[in-house]
Amino acid sequence: MNYLEVKDIYFSYKDKEILKNINMTINKGESITIFGPNGSGKTTLIKIILSILKPLKGEVFFKGENILNFDERRRAKIFSYVPQKVTSFFPMSTFDYLILGRTPYINGFIKKDDRELVSCWIEKFNIGHLKDLNFQFLSEGEKQLITLIRTFIQESEIIILDEPLTHLDLKYRMKILELLKKIKLSGKTIISIFHDLESIKYISDRVILLKNGEILKIGKVYDIITQENLTNLFEENFLYS
């Protein structure tokens, strides 16, 4: 039985085909990156895995079970999500933001255990100075870091990241990548979208090349990231070594 299997996924939006015949399997503890030009359907694919979007056709299986048969809470205990840009519509403390990672476990009111767990992670990552600050006013780097730490609090098995480094400076890019390495070493599965090859080489075991909604290639990083494949993917001549 596969750990995570994406089977025959098709997705359309307003008569435009976004994803076609997507098939892939992901192993437990693996880090896999979806790579491709803008508009190739990367974000749509991860949103289907997260059940944010429903596919036109096809299924996603977790340990042999269709994830659409799971309720929202069970899904949130399996998958956690770090979006490209973390938006906060209202002022809230970083602690209150972090504790929302416990949402799938809370019935009614937040318990003391939940608070203690959050405090424990705050201490572990040495971010005590941020916990009472308004999350809205943190830098983009701090927001991404905090959201990534929230995935530990959510205690999910699979972490899904949509271009988490896009808005970050070098300092936070390094911090996030180091943290992702730690997450990987802890045995969690990572599904990510990155736009730079250095990050992919640093964090990923396998790469999926996505072009016009179809899988072009899938395989180990150093077998897939080649000049020929990149030229084919972006329809541009790359000087890549």
Q: How far is the CB of 110 from other proteins (least distance, A)?
A: 6
Q: Which residue has the tokens 């056709």?
A: 57
How many Å from the N-terminal Cα to the C-terminal Cα in the chain? 38
35 counts as binding other proteins under rule CB under 8 A: no
72 counts as binding other proteins under rule CB under 8 A: yes
Decide whether 110 or 230 has the Cβ nearer to other proteins.
Answer: 110
Decide whether 53 or 230 has the Cβ nearer to other proteins.
Answer: 53
Q: How far is the CB of 54 from other proteins (least distance, A)?
A: 11
Decide whether 71 or 236 has the Cβ nearer to other proteins.
Answer: 71
**Identified binder of other proteins from the candidate list 1, 54, 90, 129, rule CB under 8 A:** 90
Contacting residues for 207 by C-beta, under 8 A, at least 6 apart? 32, 33, 34, 35, 200, 217, 218, 219, 220, 221, 224, 225
Q: How far is the CB of 22 from other proteins (least distance, A)?
A: 20
> How far is residue 148's CA from residue 159's CA, in Å, rounded to a whole number?
9
Torsions phi, psi for 157 (to 5 deg): -85, -30
Q: Where are the beta strands (DSSP E) in 31-107?
A: 31-35, 57-62, 65-66, 79-82
Decide whether 71 or 235 has the Cβ nearer to other proteins.
Answer: 71
**Identified binder of other proteins from the candidate list 47, 131, 206, 217, rule CB under 8 A:** 47
* Cross-strand pairs, 206: 32, 220
Instruction: Tell me how far CA of residue 171 lies from CA of 175, 180, 200, in angstroms.
Output: 6, 14, 17
Q: How far is the CB of 94 from other proteins (least distance, A)?
A: 10
Q: Which amino acid is at 219?
A: G
106 counts as binding other proteins under rule CB under 8 A: yes
**Positions in 141-200 near other proteins (CB under 8 A):** 154, 160
Q: Which residues of this chain interact with other proteins, rule CB under 8 A?
A: 47, 50-52, 71-77, 79-81, 83, 87-93, 96, 100-104, 106, 108-110, 134, 154, 160
